[in-house]
Amino acid sequence: MATVELPAGGAPLTVLSEEETMFRDAVRDFARSAIVPRVHAMDREQKMDPTLIAELFEMGLMGIEIPEENGGTGSSFFTAVLVVEELSAVDASVGVLVDVQNTLVNNALLRWGSEELKAKYLPRLASEWVGAYALSEAGSGSDAFALSTRAIEADGGYRLTGRKLWITSGAEAGVFVVFATVNPEAGYKGITAFVVERELDGFSVGKKEDKLGIRASSTTELILEDVFVPAENVLGEVGKGYKTAIETLNEGRIGIGAQMVGLARGALDSTVAYVKEREQFGHPIAEFQGVQFQLARMATELEAARLMVYNAARLKDAGRPFLQEAAMAKLFSSEAAQRITSQCIDLHGGYGFTTEYPVEKFYRDSKIGTIYEGTSNMQLQTIAKNLLR
């Protein structure tokens, strides 16, 4: 993948290279031809079409940063962000499936996995296995390290017992990054990350949530009952799982920002087309200045969100600090997406309140953006701490 040179002392360029542009356009064409016809049915049935998942693997979209020698695309984090945006412009459920796979699961293995773990799991994550990231629990949401899931050392490994909630892609995943504590008395310093396969004895997928939005994306409970995980499946160091979680989620928030930018763009594009056709008082409503001003403000807010997300992704790829930029990008893009999709419904009038037009789904899907992978309040806290340090 070609790189974009960074200006000395300045922010990273957000311009796309020729290769990035070509890849983005290919994904955009795929999204329109392969995903759009499935969106309504998948949302209604609350299930991802398994043939679509197979197509995502065939397109190389499930292993974007995985090296080519491990069966992946061998591309950049920024490319993954572009992909999530394009998919989310037609269906944010597909966007988050690909986002979690790349920015959380694959990234965690690439950064923290031993060579043996990478060789074992990355080829399958690039070709056939959906991955999921299991941190949250009933009593552990924003307080992510108040974990009750235990990992007790056993002969040659650990036995995991506990329950996880709100696990994206839990119904489809074949492998999970699971966080558990090996020493509750040590607090967050007892937390350890494990790579857990779905077929292990004692592991099961529990309740699937019935959600407001991103309904085709499964959100499930995980149940671990004395699940034996070999010691070689520890991801990173024992007792350092908190570091794995924090640093991976910092990257994941950029992906959620891309998801929000994509769905907001999808809603705005649909609305621009609608107002050109909808007539009132003998004129298309696009000719009314009040409508034009609303569209202009939405477009400006969307572009600001996109640039913040792209900037954070470029910083990450360049090896520069990006904690504050990622938090700002996620905060701004998720809140902007809610405002934009809500106004798009307004401009559709009564039709916007029906499923006949896609804006109502974009609106429903946008709500999760201010909640998962760190609420807006948590992003504000991160930004404030960084400013005041």
CB distance 275 to 298 below 8 Å? no
Phi, psi of 284 (to 5 degrees): -60, 140
Q: Which candidate, 303, 274, 304, places its Cα nearest to that of 291?
A: 274
DSSP-derived secondary structure letter, 63: -
Dihedral over alpha carbons 350, 351, 354, 355 (to 10 degrees): -170
Length of the chain equals 389
Q: Which of 20, 65, 85, 373 is catalytic?
A: 373
CB distance 227 to 102 below 8 Å? no
Phi, psi of 225 (to 5 degrees): -125, 95
Structure tokens at 49: 């079409």
CB distance 65 to 120 below 8 Å? no
Inter-residue long-range contacts of 319-327, CB under 8 Å, 24+ positions, other chains counted: 320/12, 322/250, 322/254, 323/250, 323/382, 323/386, 324/382, 324/383, 324/386, 324/387, 326/250, 326/251, 326/253, 326/254, 326/257, 327/250, 327/253, 327/374, 327/379, 327/382, 327/383, 327/386
Task: Name 157's bridge partners.
Answer: 154, 230
Is residue 373 flagged as an active site residue? yes
Residues with catalytic roles: 373
